[in-house]
């Protein structure tokens, strides 16, 4: 065997002995000793990180990291604020109320505008009676509708009696939920109040067929009409349903509601139309 081969064999043997010694040493370490070694390694890594951060390159990287943290925090705050606003809006929609004084949310048309131009979502600031003070009344805007026989009518055709005007569609869950109460009210007060349930035909794919199917399946008998040319939707600014308006015998809005009506809320509206509140 040559000297070179002896040298290689010697180095291999030394490495083997070192590895074996290291393994033996590791096997004999206690948990405390291992913990101390891990702590020393972490401390060394921390010192190395501190030295790296002291360099210009490290300071620049640190600034980038801080910017990323700040941006993430701001984005998270915006998300929380948006969620809070959405919750408040939804919570408000779950508790609709009805009264005689500007019950419906006002829009861009002032409530003292009696020209009937613009949007019926401006309720009159009446005194809660079935007949509004003409000096302060908000006239319900005119629109055309079709009955189930295809005849065209206008809102003015119903003057002479108070009107409960309701906008709905067959695909609208909240609309369907209030229909039993409307049916009961119609059966009890149909001879004193005009019930005008206007289907938002064309809104969200609504059709006369789907509307009539819902009415017939549930044996509802209150009058149904169709907004076939979006005349009512434009006149009253209907962008969400259900919506209900209380209109006195002279054609003035005395109150209204956005959202599904409970039995109690509808009963209160009926009494307003009858002039009992």
* pLDDT tens by residue, 107-118: 322 223 333 333
Could you tell me if 245 and 142 lie in one domain? yes
Closest CA to 254 of 267, 242, 272: 272
Confirm whether pTM is higher than 0.75: no
The residues facing 252 across adjacent strands are: 139
Last residue of a domain, one of 69, 91, 113: 91
Residues 126 and 253 in one domain: yes
Domain limit, last residue, from 91, 120, 143: 91
Q: For the segment 46-66, what is each residue's pLDDT rounded down to a tens digit? A: 677 667 666 777 666 666 655
Model confidence pLDDT, tens digit, residues 110-159: 223 333 333 444 333 333 334 444 456 789 999 999 999 999 999 999 99
Query: Of 91, 120, 155, which closes a domain?
Result: 91
CB count in 10 Å sphere of residue 194: 20
What mean pLDDT, rounded, does the chain reach?
73
Are residues 245 and 129 part of one domain? Answer: yes
Q: How many domains does the chain have?
A: 2
- Alpha carbon 142 to chain centroid distance? 30
List of the chain residues with pLDDT < 70: 1-36, 38-39, 42, 45-46, 49-50, 52-54, 58-136, 277
Task: Give the CA diameter of the chain.
Answer: 126
- DSSP-derived pairing of the beta strands 163-168 and 152-154: unpaired
What is the predicted pLDDT for the residue at 103?
A: 42
């Amino acid at each position: 065997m040559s000297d070179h081969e002896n040298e290689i064999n010697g180095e291999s043997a030394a490495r083997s002995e070192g590895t074996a010694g290291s393994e033996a040493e590791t096997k004999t370490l206690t948990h405390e000793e291992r913990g101390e070694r891990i702590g020393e390694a972490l401390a060394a890594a921390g010192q190395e990180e501190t030295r790296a951060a002291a360099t210009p390159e490290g300071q620049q990287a640190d600034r980038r990291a801080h910017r990323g943290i700040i941006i993430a925090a701001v984005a998270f705050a915006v998300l929380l604020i948006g969620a809070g606003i959405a919750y408040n809006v939804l919570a408000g929609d779950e508790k609709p109320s009805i009264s005689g004084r500007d019950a419906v949310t006002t829009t861009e048309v002032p409530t003292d505008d009696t020209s009937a131009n613009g949007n019926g979502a401006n309720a009159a600031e009446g005194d809660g009676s079935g007949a509004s003070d003409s000096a302060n009344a908000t006239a319900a805007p005119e629109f055309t509708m079709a009955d189930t026989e295809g005849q065209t009518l206008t809102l003015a055709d119903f003057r002479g009696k108070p009107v409960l005007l309701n906008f709905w569609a067959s695909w609208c869950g909240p609309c369907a939920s209030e229909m039993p109460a409307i049916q009961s009210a119609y059966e009890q007060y149909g001879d004193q109040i005009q019930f005008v349930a206007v289907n938002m035909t064309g809104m969200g794919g609504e059709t006369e067929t789907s509307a009539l199917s819902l009415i017939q399946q549930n044996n509802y008998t209150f009058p149904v009409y169709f907004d076939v040319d979006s005349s009512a939707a434009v006149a009253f600014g209907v962008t969400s349903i259900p919506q209900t308006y209380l209109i006195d015998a002279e054609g003035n809005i005395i109150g209204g509601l956005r959202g599904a009506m409970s039995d109690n809320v509808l009963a209160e509206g009926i009494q307003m139309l009858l002039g009992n509140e």
